[in-house]
Amino acid sequence: MITEIYKALTFCVVTSGLVFNFSLIWLILRYTMNEMRIYNRILLQTCIVDIIGIFVFAAVQPVFVSDNGIGTVWEYGPTHYLPNPWQSICFMFFGFISRFTTMNVCSQFVFRYLAVVREIKIKWKHHTIILIISALPLMVMFVISDIINQPTPENEHLTNYELAKMLELDNYTVNNYVVGFRNPGYKISSFFNNLCKYSNISNIFNNYFLWDKNSTVCPPKIYWT
């Protein structure tokens, strides 16, 4: 029953998410007034990131459980059939894109600040650079997390058969398929986690809030015309 409920919820979330996001993209491209097109990229960025996140969630479908006190992720999606480290990498990408769907707001403020306040014409490639810079701290955090929490051949199988029964997994599945994540007790410090969050804004804004528009020492990579 748990499996059926989870898959039904996943289907509803994925279907509604794709319908709403693609509909919003169509409305943005079709009905935005010319004088408001400068904000198109902000809305399109949100929709595109959400769509990517929805597809990744549909592929992974993670379930967070405790296997004899060890934090574990079992994947119900197609990535469930992958061996490690690929299954672990897929889950970390899911974690990254899930966090980025909320943290990419800072890049929207950067775009709005440069385009509206500084009146700088920003092309798509420059917008992409802003996104990459915003995502870089999160990339570092999740790469380190993948290295620390990647399952090993010794612990990549479920050992708690009560848990396997709760997840409605048969013996063949437990013995032949692996988990996507193991947390043996090590933690990335909250300081590092918060550092990654705030770096999304500070690594870009530090150069521009103090920059005088009339100054000749503006950063050349950002002064786009």
Question: Model confidence at 25, in pLDDT bands (50, 70, 90)?
Answer: very high
Q: Where are the domains of the chain?
A: 2-205
When pLDDT is averaged across residues 169-173 and rounded to a whole number, the result is 86
- pTM above 0.85? no
**Contacts of the segment 98-101: beta carbons below 8 A, 24+ positions apart:** 98/53, 98/57, 99/138, 99/142, 100/49, 100/53, 100/135, 100/138, 101/49, 101/50, 101/53
Is pLDDT above 70 for 29? yes
**Per-residue pLDDT at 147:** 83
Question: Model confidence at 3, in pLDDT bands (50, 70, 90)?
Answer: confident
